Amino acid sequence: MIETYTRRLFVAVVEIARELPLAEALRDPVRLFYAVIGLSTVPFTLAPEFERLYGLDPFSAREVENTVAYVEAIILGI
């Protein structure tokens, strides 16, 4: 599984990290790889908590788009 899926994604993150307008300390591809995974999956992994605390369904189209936009804004600095 690692060789089939994960390594390919990690190599892509390494290439992308070189081009991102991030501070040098934030370009560590290992940390960036797992930071993106965390940012983008926690609302769904903790869906019951997310719904109870905020009254929002993380699986709704709007919240999925909001999560994507948030991750993009953090990573791309937009």
Q: pTM of the prediction? A: 0.76
Determine the longest span between alpha carbons in the chain, in angstroms: 39
Percentage of the chain lying above the pLDDT 90 cut: 46
**Cβ neighbourhood burial of 75 (10 Å; 0-12, 13-18, 19+):** buried
In this structure, which amino acid lies at residue 59? F
Average pLDDT over residues 1-19: 86
The pLDDT confidence band at residue 77, using thresholds 50, 70 and 90, is confident
pLDDT at residue 28 tops 90: no
Phi-psi label, residue 55: left if phi above 0, alpha if psi -120 to 50, beta otherwise: left
